[in-house]
């Protein structure tokens, strides 16, 4: 019987949660790398036993871990992330130029077909690639060197490149998102980039429709329809039907359109999930009720999913990389909270149950569907 | 032999327990000790000092002989007792946060 492996990154280590296809009984392994912040753990689509983990610490910096056996054992690989050439400057919080400084890896995106190739989105915003299983990392500097680069500035969480999407239908096309610069697209495997933010409006910047400067929180794509993108922005849930060339708002009847994660059903490209959060300064669910919202129409019309989720006194957040879907026949949806819970729905969001309740604050959730 | 005490997280990363003993050729300084440490345990590269500019990471401290040597020049000689192996060179995670 097929099963799932859920990869959870937390403030104090990584956890691996496994279950069979029913997704009712779970084995919990961890903490791996206890005491370290694990921003992200992700498996290779080409080899499910190949995992990469971003391990970091305010004291001891960045470590990248690799597993070749599905997370049973791990080996540290390369951790040198040097910006190519002169680092240059971006805009600091006070408006002054600030040198690009590497802080950490936020997101690891293994390539679609080669387990040894993996992309890393880092803070300060840059994109790196390894083609030898994480031993050596080279920057793809075309993104950071875009003409707008000197005007990028950090959001409250740092100037991070947090989303990397690879287009399976059009090799060489990829998307990246940066807080607070916006969404970018490359059509030549990351060599050159251009902003794709037309249609976004952000009240927090002087020109609300500027080419860059938007705090994009997350992008999502269904692999069968890569021209359609969904976005959770600082405020606003957005959709593009032309690979990012233009965006339109699909917040519709959401109780609030602020939030962090957004994801798409594995088999229904028009079924989208978000977790509304009260506001930019109140990072918890409205009314203390933890509700996932689902649209079956590609946006605009949303329904609250509440069965099995706390509907009182709940003041957790769900961070941008902390939602994922499996690809079993009945699509599973997963998310983790800053309160340390990881929830699963084995029926596309209709019913939820906690897998674990008391982990450290969850930074990221990924899921692998195993044969 | 130079004795080095690592913080717990770096002992785990390097898969060692207790003190590390290193052979250092030439003058015994922060730099030469860290060079020897990183040569023996490459996994520690970047965890104590920046890989590009060699600077001590902000929340790492160097102690020896009950002194804080964190702000000494990297190429300054370490105390004789460290060079003689009588006292360890301590790499410490600074008291900060949780």
Mean pLDDT of A213-230: 96
C-alpha A61/C-alpha A206 separation (Å) is 35
Q: Is residue B30 part of a domain?
A: yes
What pLDDT, on a 0 to 100 scale, did the predictor assign at position B98? 54
The answer as to whether B15 is a domain residue is yes
- Would the pLDDT of A204 be above 90? no
pLDDT exceeds cutoff 90 at A155: no
Q: Which residues on chain A are in Cβ contact (under 8 Å) with B93?
A: 59-60
Q: Is the pLDDT at A238 greater than 80, yes or no?
A: yes
CB contact under 8 A, B51 and A59: no
Residue A211 has pLDDT above 60, yes or no: yes
Helix/strand/coil for B48: coil
Task: Identify whether the C-beta of residue A23 lies closer than 8 Å to the C-beta of residue A351.
Answer: no
Compute the nearest-CA separation of B64 from chain A (Å): 19
Chain A residue closest to B60 (CA)? A59
pLDDT bracket for residue A235 (50, 70, 90): very high
| pLDDT at site A333 | 98
Inform me whether the C-beta atom of residue B5 falls under 8 Å from chain A C-beta atoms: no
Tally of CB atoms within 10 A around A297: 12
How confident is residue A125, by pLDDT bands cut at 50, 70 and 90? Answer: very high
Question: Which residues from chain B sit within 8 angstroms of residue A76, using beta carbons?
Answer: 13, 43
Q: What is the predicted pLDDT for the residue at A241?
A: 98
Q: Does B9 touch chain A (CB under 8 A)?
A: yes
- B48 inside domain: yes
The complex scores an ipTM of 0.94
From chain A, the residues in CB contact with B96 under 8 A are: 58-59
Q: Domain of B72: which CATH number?
A: 3.10.20.30
For chain A, say whether B46 makes contact (Cβ under 8 Å).
yes
Q: Which domain holds residue B11?
A: 2-93
Chain A residue numbers with beta carbons less than 8 Å from the beta carbon of B59 are 58-59
Minimal C-alpha gap between A47 and chain B (Å): 25
Q: What is the average pLDDT across A117-136?
A: 98
- Burial track A111-140 (b if 16+ CB lie within 10 A, e otherwise): beeebbbbbbbbbbbbbbbbeebbeebebb
Which residue does chain A place closest to B94, by CA atoms? A59
Smallest CA-to-CA distance from A86 within A130, A141, A152, A21 is with A141
Does B98 reside within a domain? no
**Contact indicator for A367, A4 with CB cutoff of 8 Å:** yes
Q: What is the pTM of this model?
A: 0.97
Q: Return the HEC string of A66-108.
A: EECCCCCCCEECCCCCCCCCCCCEEECCCCCEEECCCCEEEEE
With a pLDDT cut of 70, the percent of chain A lying above it is 100
Percent of chain B predicted with pLDDT > 90? 95
From edge to edge, which strands make up the β-sheet containing A342-345?
A: A323-325, A333-336, A342-345, A353-356
**CB-CB under 8 Å, B43 with A63:** yes
Q: Give the chain A residue whose CA is nearest to the CA of B13.
A: A76
Contact between residue B28 and residue B85 where contact means Cβ atoms under 8 Å apart:
no
Number of domains composing chain B: 1
Residue B43: the pLDDT is 97
Residue matched to tokens 């519709």: A252
Contacts of B9 in chain A (CB under 8 A): 35-36, 57, 59-60
- Average pLDDT over all residues of chain A: 97
A1 — pLDDT class (breaks 50, 70, 90): low
Res A133 pLDDT > 90: yes
Cβ–Cβ gap A80/B45 under 8 Å = yes
Q: Report the residue from A59, A76, A82 with minimal CB separation from B94.
A: A59
Confidence of residue A42 (pLDDT cuts 50, 70, 90): very high
Residue B97: what pLDDT?
A: 61
* pLDDT, tens digit, 9 for 90 and up, residues A298-322: 999 999 999 999 999 999 999 999 9
What domains are defined for chain A?
Answer: 3-370 (2.130.10.10)
Q: What are phi and psi of A333, to 5 degrees?
A: -125, 140
**pLDDT, tens digit, 9 for 90 and up, residues A59-92:** 999 999 999 999 999 999 999 999 999 889 999 9
Q: Which residue on chain B is closest to A78 by alpha carbon? A: B43
Give which of A32, A35, A61, A135 to mutate to test B binding, by max B Cβ within 10 Å.
A61
Asked whether residue B60 is assigned to any structural domain, the reply reads yes
Count of CB atoms situated within 10 Å of the CB of B10:
24
pLDDT band for position B37 (cuts 50, 70, 90): very high
pLDDT for residue A120: 98
B86 CB-side CA count, 13 A: 6
Residues A184, A143 contacting (CB under 8 angstroms): yes
């Amino acid at each position: 019987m097929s099963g799932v492996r859920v990869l959870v990154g937390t403030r104090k280590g990584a956890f691996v949660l496994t279950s069979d296809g029913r997704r009712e009984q779970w084995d919990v392994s961890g903490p791996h790398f206890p005491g370290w912040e694990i921003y992200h753990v992700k498996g290779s689509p080409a080899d499910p036993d190949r995992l990469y983990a971003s391990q970091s610490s305010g004291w001891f910096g960045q470590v990248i871990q690799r597993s070749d056996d599905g997370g049973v054992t791990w080996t540290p690989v390369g951790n040198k992330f040097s910006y190519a050439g002169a680092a240059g400057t971006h805009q600091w919080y006070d408006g002054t130029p600030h040198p690009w400084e590497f802080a950490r890896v936020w997101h690891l995106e293994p390539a679609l077909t080669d387990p040894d190739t993996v992309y890393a989105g880092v803070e300060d915003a840059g994109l790196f690639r390894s083609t030898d299983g994480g031993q050596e990392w080279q920057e793809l500097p075309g993104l950071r060197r875009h003409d707008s680069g000197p005007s990028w500035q950090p959001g409250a969480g740092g100037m991070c490149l947090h989303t990397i999407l690879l287009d399976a239908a059009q090799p060489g096309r990829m998307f990246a998102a940066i807080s607070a610069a916006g969404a970018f697209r490359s059509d030549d495997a990351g060599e050159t980039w251009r902003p794709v933010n037309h249609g976004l409006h952000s009240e927090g910047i002087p020109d609300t429709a500027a080419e860059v400067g938007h705090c994009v929180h997350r992008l999502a794509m269904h692999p069968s329809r890569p021209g359609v993108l969904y976005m959770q922005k600082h405020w606003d849930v957005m959709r593009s039907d032309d690979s990012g060339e233009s965006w339109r708002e699909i917040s519709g009847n959401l109780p609030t359109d602020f939030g962090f994660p957004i994801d798409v059903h594995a088999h229904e490209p028009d079924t989208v999930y978000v977790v509304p959060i009260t506001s930019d300064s109140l990072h918890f669910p409205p009314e203390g009720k933890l509700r996932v919202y689902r649209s079956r129409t590609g946006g605009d019309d949303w329904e609250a999913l509440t069965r099995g989720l706390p509907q009182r006194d709940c003041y957790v957040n769900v961070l941008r990389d902390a939602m994922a879907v499996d690809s079993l026949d009945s699509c599973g949806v997963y998310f983790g909270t800053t309160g340390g819970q990881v929830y699963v729905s084995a029926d596309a969001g209709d019913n939820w149950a906690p897998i674990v309740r008391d982990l450290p604050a969850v930074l990221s959730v990924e899921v692998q569907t195993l044969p | 032999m130079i004795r080095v005490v690592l913080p717990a997280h770096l002992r785990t990363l390097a898969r060692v327990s207790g003190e590390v003993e290193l052979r250092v050729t030439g003058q015994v300084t922060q730099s030469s000790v860290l060079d020897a440490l990183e040569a023996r345990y490459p996994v520690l590269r970047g965890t104590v000092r920046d890989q590009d500019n060699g600077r001590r990471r902000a929340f790492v401290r160097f102690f020896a002989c009950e002194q804080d040597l964190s702000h000494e020049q990297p190429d300054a000689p370490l105390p004789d007792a460290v060079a003689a192996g009588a006292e360890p060179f301590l790499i410490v995670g600074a008291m900060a946060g949780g």
